[in-house]
Structure 1
Amino acid sequence: MSERAPGSRYDTGLATRRSVLGDAHVDRAGANMTDFDTDFQTLITESAWGTVWSDDTFSKRERSIVTLALLAGLGHHEEFAMHVRATAQTGATAEDIRELLMHVAIYAGVPAANTAIKIAKETLAGMQAD
């Protein structure tokens, strides 16, 4: 990822992103970055990670639960699986995921929750195997 002034929202976001998603994921994203998506990567690092995820109003566990519910409800399956894996760093538990998916079923629909349950089961099983 590109260089920024020390202490910038970008640096804060990058540190938060690493703490939630892990160094390997962030390093892969940086290695795969091209001129086409540099501005996008900067945007999400500064806004999603440097502003939203870095705010201390919610704990990382709480923010993880909210994020998982939104991703499941909106059908963003790859991002949902990535954030299930991130629960190893955020402190959200399998029980939290199970409960948030009950809310998704009621408020976003059973099909969305059903798909997310399948993804969560596969992802959690893979995490246990590692």
Structure 2
Amino acid sequence: MSERFDQGMIVRRRVLGDAHVNRAEANKTDFDEPFQTLITEAAWGSVWSRDTISPRERSMLTIALLAGLGNDHELAMHIRATANTGASKEDVLDALLHVAIYAGVPRANHAIKIAKETFAEMEAKR
């Protein structure tokens, strides 16, 4: 693997947690291995590894973009990741308020529902 892959895996584990990454790695097949390598190098090794903005800010941006695009499964995953990025519930709400204005109320409404469910699951596990 590349140096960018190694850096990406460090950041991916820091943001998403070892349990999530271990599951993804355990479920990896020959078919999706190139995709897993791509996201580890590109998303985590190239973008999330940059130090121009904080992990908290990057988390909020990611949540807003995922909500605005309707990527619900990824949205829940990144809301869970706020436990590792420092983004608070209030930060998530502010990001989703921006979604309402710039991407549409229905997208934000659905994302808020997902956020409430995800935060409740997170609190139940404490």
* TM-score, normalised relative to structure 1: 0.95
Partner SS state of residue 53, structure 2: coil
Aligned residue number for residue 98 of structure 2 = 103
The counterpart of 1:45, out of the listed 17, 40, 51, is 40
**How many pairs were matched up?**
125
Equivalent positions of 1:51-66 (< 5 A) are 51-66=46-61
Distance in structure 1 (CA, Å) of the matches to 2:75 and 2:60? 11
* Residue identity (%): 67
Aligned residue number for residue 119 of structure 2 = 124
Aligned residue number for residue 62 of structure 2 = 67
- Is 1:12 the counterpart of 2:7? The answer is yes
Distance in structure 2 (CA, Å) of the matches to 1:72 and 1:18? 22
Equivalent positions of 1:77-88 (< 5 A) are 77-88=72-83
What letter matches 2:46 in structure 1?
T
Distance in structure 2 (CA, Å) of the matches to 1:98 and 1:49? 24
Aligned residue number for residue 86 of structure 2 = 91
Question: How far is 1:129 from its partner?
Answer: 0.7
Partner SS state of residue 92, structure 1: coil
User: Which runs of at least 4 in structure 1 moved beyond 6 Å after TM superposition?
Assistant: none
Question: How far is 1:109 from its partner?
Answer: 0.2
Alignment root-mean-square deviation, CA: 0.6
Distance in structure 2 (CA, Å) of the matches to 1:98 and 1:64? 12
* TM-score, normalised relative to structure 2: 0.98
Aligned residue number for residue 27 of structure 1 = 22
After superposition, give the CA deviation of every residue in 1:26-50 in whole Å (9 maximum; x if it has no partner). 0000000001100000000000000
Distance in structure 2 (CA, Å) of the matches to 1:13 and 1:46? 5
Distance in structure 1 (CA, Å) of the matches to 2:24 and 2:92? 25
